[in-house]
Structure 1
Amino acid sequence: MDKTTTLSRKNLHIVAIVYIYTSFNNTLITITNIKGQTILFGSAGSLGLKGSKRSTAFAGQSIADVLGKKLFILGFRFVYIQFKGFGSARKSVLKGFLGSSLKILTIKDKTNIAHNGCKAKKKRRI
């Protein structure tokens, strides 16, 4: 039988919200408490990665590892995760947070998808 986790009012300080924005150039992670006050922030550039290395899956997983460990040290145990953007590091960021000792309560995708609105960006030529 699976135990469900219920959170009381006094235990709200152990829950954090993780906002992950992945673009084609960088990965940004902002961690807030339930009230929306920023606790931690990190990006691939803040780890010392420069140029095209910031957009890799390795960069996303590294940021998630570092911030997950810091969050656990601060006393947080549960996280809500919200993704935004179509970057290549989405899955690896999730792997990074799964590797830390934090329990993921929900995963949401808040990426904006146009329905024939404004003109889209030009296609990349690689």
Structure 2
Amino acid sequence: MAETAVTGKTASSKKKQRRSVPTGQLHIQATFNNTIVTFADNKGNVLATSSAGACGFRGSKKGTAYASQVAAEKAAEAAKSGYGLSSVDVFVKGVGLGRDAAIRTLGNYDISVNSIKDVTGVPHGGVRPRKARRA
């Protein structure tokens, strides 16, 4: 450690303060292949995240409701213990099986749900049609 010339004491870095975030956001992206669960504060800064793939599920099992439940448990545990999260606004995106299972998991961790909003993208105009077939 480096000693300062004036005092003779060793220089030490300040201990990082643990941030308390009582309310936040929960973003759930549920596709057919995977489910990603992210806890964020109200500004959108990520607090904790997890996915079915990160929890050890592989292949077609990643898209199941149970896999999204396990992912939500892991992320909720990190957000609750690390930041004291107690209530969330839920934003659900996608059409996968894990949409409901991830939200139901929050009850086990005493995290209250203020609102649930579906933010799945909807095409307005759609994709360009195929070219006309030649006769």
Please report the TM-score for the alignment, with normalisation by the length of structure 1.
0.79
User: 2:116 and 2:128 mapped to 1: Cα distance?
Assistant: 30
One-letter identity of the residue aligned with 1:78: S
Cα deviation digits, residues 59-104 of structure 1 (max 9, x gap): 0111112222222212111111100000011111111122221111
Indicate the residue corresponding to 1:20 in structure 2.
Answer: 28
Check if 1:78 corresponds to 2:90. no
Matched with 2:44 is: 36
Say which of 62, 67, 81 aligns to 1:54: 62
- Give structure 1 stretches of 5+ with no counterpart: 1-11, 121-126
Q: How far does the alpha carbon of each residue in 1:14-52 deviate from its partner, in whole angstroms, 9 at most, with x for none?
A: 111111000010001111111211111111111111111
The structure with the largest helix share of the pair is 1
Q: Which structure has the larger Rg over C-alpha atoms?
A: 2
| Residue 131 of structure 2 is aligned to residue 104 of structure 1 | no
- Supply the distance in 1 between the matched residues of 2:107 and 2:100 (Cα, whole angstroms): 11
Percent of residue pairs identical: 29
Give the superposition deviation at 1:116.
4.1
Structure 2 counterpart of 1:18, one-letter code? L
Partner of 1:92 in structure 2? 101
Q: How many residues align?
A: 109
Amino acid at match of 2:47: I
- Which amino acid in the other structure matches residue 77 of structure 2? K
TM-score by length of 2: 0.74
Consecutive unaligned residues of structure 2, counting only runs of 5 or more, are: 1-19, 130-135
Q: Runs of 4 or more off by more than 2 Å in structure 1?
A: none
Q: Pick from 71, 74, 82 the counterpart of residue 66 of structure 1.
A: 74
Structure 1 residue 114: Cα displacement: 2.2
